[in-house]
Amino acid sequence: MTKTTICGTDLHILKSDLPSVAVGRILGHEGIGVIDEIGAGVTRFRRGDRVLISCITACGKCEYCRRGMPSHCEQGGWILGNTIDGTQAEFVRIPFADTSLYPIPENADEDAMVMLSDILPTGYECGVLNGAVKPGDTVAIIGAGPIGLATLLTTQFYAPANLIVIDLDDNRLEVAKKFGATEVINSADGKAVEKVMAMTAGKGVDVAIEAVGIAATFELCQEIIGAGGHIANIGVHGTSVTLHLEKLWSQNITITTRLVDAVTTPLLLKTVMAGKLKPKQLVTHHFTLNDVMKAYDTFGNAGRERALKVILTNS
Ligand code: ZN
Ligand code: ZN
């Protein structure tokens, strides 16, 4: 491993939201590294190659992989730092390396590459693509953490007219403005619905993207979605949420869920290398791997520390 990072999902794991993760598991499903050793089945990589690790392991051969849905790969999917040891370590074993790693181009910024393991494909696939964002749309992103901000960056591929970001943290909303939000709302006063309705002439938004993973934010999406709209859930939910079908049944709403497939990583890598997408701005803190507990403390208290993504360097 050269560099890795901590994901919001790792915090959900620490809160016991994900029972699949056994006690003692090495966490982490993001990062870049240099190949130290290859298994007999690997044909596309050699010792010494610099590689980007996808958060999704894909065998490339099973039914789900062939359907472009490696998140549900029969032998892979999200297994790193979940059911097998992950990337917050000096070394990591990557199964199905040929279809789960990407070569890192020369001149690539290493911190930017780490953002391609998970948060950029997650924001783009689960939020932007599932939300079917179109030019001219009014899009609301609920949650301005790293995933919400990655969604905010990639939503702009489609030129939405209005990009409303909702969060409880003024610092994050400030960042969202710098990243392209046209309106920001601090929902602490309980008036987010009212404000969104005022901004949209009472119609609601075309796309509501949930990037937190709690009941209140999914409820908010249901309250601000306009007729014909899309609610795209990204958040990792640990408890059930009320579905207001009594209001939504007649509103031509589409609700989507997804575990990132990371099938758009090559596309996103090209946009990063071309300078069209600048994910390095998501990195706020650097630590060495030996200071991993300090890094968790910083990331776990993101509001206090003004933290977005933290990079852990193995040195
Ligand atoms: Zn993640
Ligand atoms: Zn597969």
Return the ligand number nearest the Cα of 145: 1
State in Å: Cα 2 to ligand 2 middle: 27
What is the Cα–Cα distance from 125 to 260, expressed in whole angstroms? Answer: 6
What pLDDT is stored for residue 224 in this prediction?
98
State in Å: Cα 64 to ligand 2 middle: 6
Instruction: Check residue 95 and give left, alpha or beta (phi > 0: left; psi -120 to 50: alpha).
Output: beta
Return the ligand number nearest the Cα of 235: 1
pLDDT at 16 over 90: no
State in Å: Cα 118 to ligand 1 middle: 5
Buried/exposed 229-247: b ≥16 CB within 10 Å, e otherwise: bbbbbbbbbeeebeeeeee
What is the Cα–Cα distance from 165 to 142, expressed in whole angstroms? Answer: 6
- Token pair listed for 272: 């990063």
State in Å: Cα 29 to ligand 1 middle: 6
What is the Cα–Cα distance from 34 to 44, expressed in whole angstroms? Answer: 14
- The strand ranges marked E within 22-92 are 31-34, 50-53
State in Å: Cα 251 to ligand 1 middle: 32
pLDDT in tens, 103-125: 999 999 999 999 999 999 999 99
User: Could you tell me the pTM of the whole model?
Assistant: 0.96
Return the ligand number nearest the Cα of 116: 1
State in Å: Cα 122 to ligand 1 middle: 8
Return the ligand number nearest the Cα of 100: 2
Which whole-number Å values give the CA distances from 159 to 119, 128, 236, in the listed order? 20, 11, 27
Of the candidates 277, 256, 250, the residue with the CA atom closest to the CA atom of residue 119: 277
Return the ligand number nearest the Cα of 150: 1
Return the ligand number nearest the Cα of 73: 2
pLDDT in tens, 172-226: 999 999 999 999 999 999 999 999 999 999 999 999 999 999 999 999 999 999 9
Return the ligand number nearest the Cα of 88: 1
What is the Cα–Cα distance from 85 to 5, expressed in whole angstroms? Answer: 15
Average pLDDT over residues 27-51: 97
State in Å: Cα 7 to ligand 1 middle: 5
Instruction: Please answer whether residues 195 and 186 qualify as being in contact, where contact means their C-beta atoms are separated by less than 8 angstroms.
Output: no
Domains and CATH numbers, the chain: 3-118+262-313 (3.90.180.10), 125-256 (3.40.50.720)
Mean pLDDT of the chain: 97
